[in-house]
């Protein structure tokens, strides 16, 4: 990819925002239905600032220890932070109140720990339930066959507000092969919404990344997580 300059970042951000609007239009969805979560894992503060100037408003981080210093440096910026990585229970206290949304609640026990820490902090934490939509043995997340049943248990946690679902489909060769997985997640959200549970709303579907977000939008995504297409390949 071309060198990462302020101009390059601005061009990429505007290109992706335009593609999102076009995908919304193609799917017959109102403009603004889908929001871009810019994945800033390993991205420098300088490049993040350039992205914010270019129009980024939601930033997604995968690692608690990397995220906290960045959040502290952007307290005056018009941005919101989402936690999108796997969250260990021992690090829950550090994320409560710092992230508007946690995308990756993958066990009942994690939801319970979030509830406990949010109660201590006197707040309610917004979360998404991560669904292992392909049933992959090496991937975190609720099994699709279990999530509808287990969400009824988590609905009893007063300091956890379940806003929707998140998934990462199995690695696939082409964009369109992810479509049935996105469609399945959307159907699961409909089933859960029909239960009318307290503290549960299926308003958000976090699905789709740099290589397949347009297909995800066609299948109902409200949050798309894009990093490489903005900031280039990461060097961990």
Pick the CATH number of 6-231 from 2.40.40.20, 3.20.20.10, 3.40.50.11140, 3.20.20.70: 3.20.20.10
Count, in order, helices (H) and strands (E) of the chain.
9, 8
* Domain range list for the chain: 6-231
Tell me if 222 sits within 8 A of 204, measured CB to CB: yes
* CA gap 87, 102 in Å, rounded: 9
Classify residue 171 by its DSSP letter.
P
Each residue's pLDDT expressed in tens, for the chain with a length of 236 residues: 567 999 999 999 999 999 999 999 999 999 999 999 999 999 999 999 999 999 999 999 999 999 999 999 999 999 999 999 999 999 999 999 999 999 999 999 999 999 999 999 999 999 999 999 999 999 999 999 999 999 999 999 999 999 999 999 998 756 789 999 999 999 999 999 999 998 999 999 999 999 999 999 999 999 999 999 999 987 55
Which residues, in sequence order, are CB contacts of 11 under 8 Å at separation 6+? Answer: none
């Amino acid at each position: 990819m071309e060198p990462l300059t302020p101009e390059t970042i601005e061009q990429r951000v505007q290109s992706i925002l335009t593609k999102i609007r076009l995908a919304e239009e193609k799917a017959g969805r109102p403009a603004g239905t889908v929001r871009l979560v810019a994945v800033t894992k390993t991205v420098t503060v300088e490049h993040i600032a350039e992205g914010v100037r270019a129009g980024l408003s939601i930033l997604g981080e995968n690692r608690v220890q990397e995220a906290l210093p960045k959040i502290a440096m952007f307290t005056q910026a018009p941005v919101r932070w989402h936690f999108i990585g796997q969250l260990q229970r021992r690090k829950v206290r550090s994320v409560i109140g710092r992230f508007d949304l946690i995308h990756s609640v993958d066990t009942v026990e994690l939801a319970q720990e979030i509830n406990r820490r949010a109660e201590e902090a006197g707040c309610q934490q917004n979360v998404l339930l991560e669904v292992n939509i392909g049933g992959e043995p090496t991937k975190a997340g609720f099994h699709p066959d279990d999530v509808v049943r287990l969400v009824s248990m988590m609905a009893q946690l007063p300091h956890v507000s379940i806003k929707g679902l998140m998934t990462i489909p199995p690695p696939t060769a082409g964009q369109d092969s992810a479509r049935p997985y996105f469609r399945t997640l959307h159907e699961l959200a409909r089933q859960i919404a029909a239960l009318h549970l307290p503290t549960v709303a299926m308003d958000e579907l976090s699905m789709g990344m740099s290589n397949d977000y347009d297909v995800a939008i066609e299948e109902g995504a409200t949050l798309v997580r894009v990093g490489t297409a903005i900031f280039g390949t990461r060097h961990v």
